[in-house]
Amino acid sequence: MTTGRLIACHECDLLQRELPLPLKGVLRCRRCNAELSRSRPDSVDRALAFTLSAMVLFAIGNAFPMVGLSVNGELVQTTLLGAARVLYDDGMWPIAGLVLATTFVMPLLQMATMTYLLVPLRFGRVPYRFDLIFRLLQLVRPWGMTEVLILGMLVALVKLAHIASVVPGTALWTFGVLMALLAAASSAFDPREFWERARGTQAAGPDTVESVIPRAPTAMGCGLLTCHTCDQLVKHAAHGADAACPRCGAHLHARQPNSIGRTWALLIAAMVLYIPANALPVMNTSSLFGSEKDTILSGVVYLWTSGSWPLAIIVFIASIAVPMLKIIALMFLVISTQLRSPWSPQQRARIYRLVELVGRWSMLDIYVITILVALVQFKGLATIQAGPAAIAFGSVVVLTMFAALSFDPRLIWDRAENNHVPAAR
């Protein structure tokens, strides 16, 4: 008989008994196959080392130019902050703010919060208000998009190579290594080990659940709430409507309030903006030979006809196919959930995970535009400005990401009923 600690899956709410993990093992939900936990040896030391290294490279990457463009002896270079400043000066402050938030503010907050949490733990101390800082870390992690920025730089370099001589800057290589270090730090960080160490000086609240005999297959069926921040199970009856996790202070709900309604509202707004995002010009190019307006699709055609067909395929998938398919997939999930469809909840759960995974890559075209606008500023020869479609497209990306976050995947499983509580695998 399995006697491990009781845990609940974040995606289907199934109660399961936790099993011991082998080195580098992964614990997955028996019903929806979602990852419950992962073995991360030396989590604190490894995550701290990667984070501190990333902070050094982040400072270097923002102090030196990313790339330069040389035309007739005139060299134009730009830093990441300088590129955002050019967009702001051109009146495209919404895009400038989005670029600044996703490539500078959010990665910086991620590194700062991880450092704040891990340095005291490394020396056997618990950081002040670690619960609040941990919630902030969980909030900013999905919005740091350094890896998408790197791919956007590569696409921009291919386009610029047909205009003038491209001079790679120090920051280009620095951001490449920074991307790897941020991914390594995020992978090495183990929230479960963090909370186990932090609990050494802070006992769990009186309403937390360490061991119960489940009377239903799901946490909601047993009157339990799951904290998605620290994985704590909490007794629902003791709190009423306004529940908060006694360990980390996060708000708790059996299901996200008005999940379907909020997801529909965000999806409808994204669908409306998707039309001007693809129909209006995303870039305006002015040169000695006249002016030209480019849409997202014309940019894909340019890459294809210039021989860069692999990048053309990547841009088409990230900037045209992914936003459209994400909207369609979320509509399917919402409609099937509203109709209480019993069709293959496992497949629908996989669709939801895929939507969450690929949504951020739609920012690719925004970063390409940012680099081109910042570099092609040769007065009298050629200039590039962002078009109105850039704002619409950036809004579509943000709205679909919020829509995915608003949808509660546990609603898919509410019709599925099991009569036992299995051990996770």
Do 354 and 304 share a structural domain?
Answer: yes
Cβ atoms 233, 7 nearer than 8 A: yes
Do 364 and 383 share a structural domain?
Answer: yes
Do 183 and 122 share a structural domain?
Answer: yes
Domain extent for 31:
1-39+203-244
Do 259 and 187 share a structural domain?
Answer: no
**What does residue 286 show for φ and ψ, rounded to 5 degrees?**
-120, 135
Report if residue 193 sits inside a domain.
yes
Cβ atoms 207, 234 nearer than 8 A: yes
Do 270 and 174 share a structural domain?
Answer: no
Do 104 and 30 share a structural domain?
Answer: no
Report if residue 386 sits inside a domain.
yes
**Both structure tokens of 250:** 């996060």
Report if residue 2 sits inside a domain.
yes
Which residues are CB-neighbours of 417 under 8 A, at least 6 positions away? 217
Angle at 265 between CA 345 and CA 281, to 5 degrees: 110
What CATH number does the domain containing 312 carry?
1.20.140
Do 51 and 185 share a structural domain?
Answer: yes
Domain boundary among 244, 276, 297: 244
Do 238 and 113 share a structural domain?
Answer: no
Report if residue 424 sits inside a domain.
no
Report if residue 421 sits inside a domain.
no
Nearest alpha-carbon partner for 161 in 372, 401, 395, 402: 372
Nearest alpha-carbon partner for 32 in 341, 421, 409, 420: 409
Domain boundary among 189, 218, 252: 252
Query: If 0-12 CB within 10 Å is exposed, 13-18 middle and 19+ buried, where does residue 110 land?
Result: buried
Q: pTM of the full predicted structure?
A: 0.85
Do 309 and 373 share a structural domain?
Answer: yes
Going residue by residue through the chain, which has 425 residues, state the pLDDT in tens, using 9 for 90 and above.
345 678 888 888 888 887 777 777 888 888 888 888 888 888 888 999 999 999 999 999 999 888 887 777 677 788 888 888 988 888 889 999 999 999 999 999 999 999 999 999 888 888 888 888 998 998 898 898 988 888 888 888 887 777 777 788 888 899 999 999 999 999 888 888 888 777 654 444 444 555 455 556 777 877 888 888 877 888 775 444 567 787 777 888 888 888 899 999 999 999 999 999 888 888 877 655 556 777 888 878 877 887 777 778 888 888 888 888 999 999 999 998 888 887 888 889 899 988 888 888 888 888 988 888 887 765 555 677 788 888 999 999 999 999 999 998 888 888 655 434 454 55
Terminal-to-terminal C-alpha distance of the chain: 15
Do 170 and 22 share a structural domain?
Answer: no
Do 320 and 198 share a structural domain?
Answer: no
